[in-house]
Structure formats: C-alpha cells, structure tokens
C-alpha cells in the first residue's frame, strides 16, 4: 500500500512538473532556433540606416557573378544624371559586343552588327534580363572601352567606401567567357569578387543615390524590340518579383548572379510598411548542399521573413524631446546663463520586437560651439544646432552598421529653443568681479572654519 501511494505521488508530481515546464521550454525553443542560412555568406540590412540585422561570413571575399551589373547600373545612372549620356542616344555594336551577343549559352539579347540601339534599350536588357553583351555596350558608351570602364568601376568602389572587392569586367562573367576580349590588364581566368558587406554597401548606395533603378529592376517581363523582327522575350531572373514563381510581397529588385566560380547569388530588396530591407546571399545551397537558382530565393525569403517579422519601425523619441536633467545647457558670454535645447527631428529606428527599452538617448555637443569648461558660446540663434542626440544600445547584440560612418544615420539634431544674445563688456566685467569676490569669500569662509 505504501509503495502504491509513493508511486502515485511520484506520477502526479511528474505530471505537474511537466505542465509547469512545458510553456517555458516551448518559449526557449522558439527563441533559440537559429536562422540557418545555407550560403557561403549572407547579410540582411536596414536600407534606411545601413544597420546590419543578420550576418554570416560577411567579410569573406567571394565571386559575385552578374551582381556586378549593379556597379554598371550605378555608373550609367551617374552618367545620365551628369548628362554625359542620354537615354535616347544610339549605339552600333563593336565586333566584341556583336560576337558576345550571339552566344545564347550566356544571358543575352542578340544584337545586329549594323544595328542601332538606344541606351535605354541596352539598359533594360541588362537590368531585366542580365544581358551581357548589352552590358559591355554600356561600358563602351560610357568609357570608350571596357578596359577604361573597369578602371572606373574600381575607382567608384573606392569612392563609395567599398572594401574587399575587385572588378575585372563589366558583366560578372568569367573572363574566360569573353571570347578573348577580356579587358587589358586582367587575366583570362579572373572573375569579379566582393564580400557580402561590400555587396550590400553597393546596393545601399545604389538605392540612396539612384532610387530610379527600381523602376526597371522591378519589371518581371518585357519584350526587347517589341514589334520588330528582333523581338525577344526578357524574363527577369529575379523570380521573387510579382507574378513570378518565387514571388514575395514587397520585392522590387535588385540583381541575381551565377557562374561556376561564384555559385548562385542574389542581392535582393523588399519594402513593407515603410521598411525597406536589403539582402545578399552568396553561393546559396539547397538542403542537399547543391547550389541552385531556387536556393538563392529560398534563403533570401528566410532573411526577409526574419527582418519583417522580428523588426518594426518605431519612433523612439519624438521631435522636441528633452533629455531629463539636460533640458538646459550652460551658456558663456550670454545675456542668459542657460538655454533650453530639444531634438529638431523625431528619432525613428528599426527595432527588434520587445527591445524598445534597450535604447537610451545620449547628447553629443558640438565642441566648436563650446568653451573648454563645457558651456555653449553666445550668441545663439533660436533653432541653432548645437550638437545631436544619438542612441546607446543596451541589448545583447551589437548595434552594427555596414560602415562606422553610417552610425550618423541614427542621429537627430539638438537645437536651441530660444535666442540667446551676447551680453556687453560691462556685464561680463561685473560677472568676472562678482566671481572674483565670490571666490575670495569662499576662501575666507573655509579659512575661518579651519581656525575654529
């Protein structure tokens, strides 16, 4: 009987313990599931600030294949903006471009040797269909030769702050595919390389400086030379666009890539509820470890799901916010000895769910507008910027960006709420004398206390 009672008690205790622990264990499991991205490198970035939301091996230098064409797009849109190139100007293919365009084993629209093609036609063929000969044509239009254009690509990379990259041609093909016309100064077996961080940085700058790129990158299908004998259907290789097989809400760019060296790659971007994300996957693989076209979209989907589900855009501090205890700052040489300050703009950030209280405001004052004693120097205008407010992150992870200078993207100006005029020499003299007597009085009091 004693044994039965003991067994019953143990069984009941076990049931209670399981019921108590079950929700906790389920929660722990849900929070600890890793974001298993099957790729040699991957990154997810907030397109507004450049903040890194997810990273895997992001500084490894790997092949980028046709994602290269994003740099060609950047340089073309630069040239269009500077009016060095016009959309309606025409181009007749060089022997190199003509021969390359006839290779249908590569992504191409066939070009006639004596044909006349507008810059816009060639650009659309490149941006939608990843047409390689059309890309070389654009390089020749801008720089006279692909050799000169490659030099421009590498110089622009440096200007944009890219690191860990090298361009050897305008297309992203292996030089061995270029019919012996690979740019002078490069070897026949070279290929363009870049890190995932650099690739995401290029995408970030492309979207910031030339947002119109999405007008073309977002086109799922189009006919090249519609209504002519040269008409050819161009299906976008970005299968995540609306109406295509891996469609994903909000996707409107940017560029896929594949070579045997690089594997299947994709730099994507999507926008939902005012939030735009940038993703990069390099040499994406399926569950069997094989690089496939499908895998690059499956892995990108994981990244986008993580970003859109786990983060939301929040206004952490409104316009006009005043940090408690620092509502007023001391002023030197002013009619008033203090001035009120506030934020000139709201401070919004993409925040991970549940981490709203992990961000603390910090004032950083402009030292050029201050004395060595830490006082603002009068005169001060109403609304004058005297520094900025930024954020200090108290969470488990680091607040990382594509580059250190992008931390300025989470700053808002700190401005004065009223005007402070500079006082005259007489008042300043009286203050100095008053300060002198105050110091003497303080010293005398201390001396008397010492005697007592």
If we measure between CA atoms, which residue out of 102, 182, 115 comes closest to residue 149?
A: 182
Percentage of the chain beyond pLDDT 70 is: 86
Coil, helix or strand at residue 251: strand
| Options 69, 255, 285, 333, the catalytic residue | 69
- 396: pLDDT confidence band, cut at 50, 70 and 90? confident
Q: Which pLDDT belongs to residue 32? A: 31
- Asked if the model's pLDDT at residue 12 lies above 60, the reply is no
Residue with tokens 């007489």: 426
Q: Is the pLDDT of residue 366 over 50?
A: yes
The rounded distance, in Å, linking the Cα atoms of 132 and 170 is 9
Q: Which is nearest to 355 in space by CA: 299, 399, 407, 289?
A: 399
174 is catalytic: no
Structure tokens at 300: 């990108």
Catalytic residue among 56, 101, 107, 130: 130
Please write the tens of the pLDDT for every residue from 435-447: 444 454 455 445 4
Pairing of strands 275-284, 39-46: antiparallel
132-143 vs 69-81: helix crossing angle, rounded to 10: 40
Pairing status of strand 376-377 against strand 328-332: parallel
Q: What are the strands, taking DSSP E only, across 8-144?
A: 39-46, 52-56, 62-63, 90-91, 117-118
Predicted confidence (pLDDT) at residue 15 exceeds the cutoff of 50: no
Distance between CA atoms of 326 and 342, rounded to whole angstroms? 9
Nearest-angstrom CA–CA distance, 155 and 66 = 19
**pLDDT of res. 104:** 92
pLDDT at 31: 33
SS3 breakdown of the chain: % helix, strand, coil, rounded to 5?
A: 40, 25, 35
Average pLDDT of span 402-428 = 86
Question: Euclidean distance between the first and final Cα of the chain, in Å?
Answer: 87
What is the pLDDT of the chain when averaged over all its residues? 89
Angle separating helix axes 146-159 and 69-81, nearest 10 degrees? 90
For 121-153, write each residue's pLDDT tens digit.
Answer: 999 999 999 999 999 999 999 999 999 999 999
Cis peptide before 416 (omega within 30 of 0): no
What pLDDT does 334 receive? Answer: 86
Catalytically annotated residue among 56, 66, 107, 342 = 66
**3-state SS assignment for residue 422:** strand
- Identify the pLDDT of residue 436: 44
DSSP state, 394?
-
The tokens describing 413, both together, are: 């100006």
- Taking only the tens place, the pLDDT of each residue in 300-326 is 999 999 999 999 999 999 999 999 999
Is the pLDDT at 274 greater than 70? The verdict is yes
Q: Which residues contact 153 (CB under 8 A, 6 or more apart)?
A: 71, 72, 75, 167, 170
Contact criterion met (CB below 8 Å) for 176 and 189: yes
Nearest residue to 72 via CA among 227, 198, 255? 255
Strands 359-365 and 385-393: antiparallel
Looking at the whole model, is its pTM more than 0.75?
A: yes
Q: What is the largest CA-CA distance in the chain?
A: 110
Helix axes 146-159, 132-143, angle to 10 degrees: 80
Phi/psi at 285 (5° precision) = -130, 155
- Residue 412 and residue 3: Cα distance in Å, rounded? 72
| Residues paired with 422 in a beta bridge | 334
pLDDT in tens, 178-209: 999 999 999 999 999 999 999 999 999 999 99
DSSP secondary structure code for residue 380 in this structure: B
Tell me if residue 130 is catalytic: yes
Give yes or no for residue 6 having a pLDDT over 90: no
- pLDDT for the residue 9: 45
Confirm whether 66 is a catalytic residue.
yes
The answer on pLDDT for 431 being more than 90 is no
Average pLDDT over residues 166-172: 98
Burial track 175-197 (b if 16+ CB lie within 10 A, e otherwise): bebbeebbbeebeeebbbbbbbb
> How buried is 233 (Cβ within 10 angstroms: 0-12 exposed, 13-18 middle, 19+ buried)?
exposed
User: What is the pLDDT at residue 434?
Assistant: 52
> Per mean pLDDT, which range of 14-23, 324-333, 345-354, 393-402 is the poorest?
14-23
Beta-bridge mates of residue 118: 90
Lay out the sheet containing 412-416: strands in order across.
359-365, 385-393, 412-416, 338-343, 328-332, 376-377
pLDDT given for residue 34 in this prediction: 65
Q: Does residue 14 have a pLDDT over 60?
A: no
212-233 average pLDDT score: 96
Instruction: Kindly give the pairing relationship between strand 117-118 and strand 90-91.
Output: antiparallel
């Amino acid at each position: 009987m004693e044994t039965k009672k003991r067994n019953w008690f143990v069984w009941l205790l076990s049931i209670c313990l399981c019921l108590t622990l079950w929700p906790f264990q389920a929660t722990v499991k849900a929070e600890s599931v890793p974001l298993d991205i099957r790729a040699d490198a991957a990154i997810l970035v907030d397109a507004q600030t450049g903040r890194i939301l997810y990273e895997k091996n992001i500084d490894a230098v790997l092949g980028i294949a046709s994602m290269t064409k994003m740099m060609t797009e950047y340089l073309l849109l630069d040239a269009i903006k500077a009016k060095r190139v016009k959309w309606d100007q025409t181009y007749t293919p060089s022997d190199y471009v003509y021969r390359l365009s006839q290779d249908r084993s590569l992504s191409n629209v066939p070009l006639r040797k004596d044909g006349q093609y507008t810059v816009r036609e060639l650009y659309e063929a490149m941006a939608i269909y990843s047409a390689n000969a059309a890309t070389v044509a654009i390089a020749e239009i801008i720089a006279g030769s692909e050799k000169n254009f490659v030099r421009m690509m590498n110089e622009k990379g440096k200007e944009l702050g890219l690191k860990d990259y090298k361009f050897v041609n305008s297309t992203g093909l292996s030089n061995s595919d270029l019919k012996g016309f690979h740019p002078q100064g490069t070897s026949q077996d070279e290929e363009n390389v870049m890190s995932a961080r650099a690739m995401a940085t290029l995408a970030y700058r492309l979207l910031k400086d030339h947002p119109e790129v999405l007008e073309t990158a977002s086109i799922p299908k189009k006919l090249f030379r519609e209504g002519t004998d040269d008409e050819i259907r161009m299906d976008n290789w970005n299968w995540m666009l609306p109406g295509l097989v891996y469609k994903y809400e909000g996707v409107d760019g940017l560029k896929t890539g594949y070579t045997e060296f690089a594997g299947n790659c994709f730099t994507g971007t999507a926008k939902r509820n005012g939030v735009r994300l940038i993703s990069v996957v390099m040499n994406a693989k399926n569950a069997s470890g094989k690089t496939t076209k499908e895998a690059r979209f499956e892995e990108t989907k994981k990244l986008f799901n993580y970003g859109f589900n786990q983060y939301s855009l929040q206004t952490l501090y409104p316009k006009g916010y005043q940090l408690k205890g620092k509502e007023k700052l001391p002023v030197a040489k002013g009619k008033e000895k203090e001035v009120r300050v506030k934020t000139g703009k709201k401070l919004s950030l993409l925040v991970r769910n549940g981490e709203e209280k992990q961000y603390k405001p910090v004032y950083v004052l402009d030292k050029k507008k201050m004395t060595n004693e830490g006082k603002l120097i009068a005169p001060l205008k109403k609304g004058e910027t005297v520094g900025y407010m930024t954020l200090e992150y108290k969470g488990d992870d680091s607040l990382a960006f594509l580059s250190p200078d992008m931390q300025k993207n989470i700053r808002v100006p700190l401005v004065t709420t009223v005007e402070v005029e500079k006082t005259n020499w007489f008042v300043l003299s009286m203050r100095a004398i008053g300060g002198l007597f105050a110091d003497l009085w303080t010293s005398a009091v201390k001396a008397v206390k010492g005697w007592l």
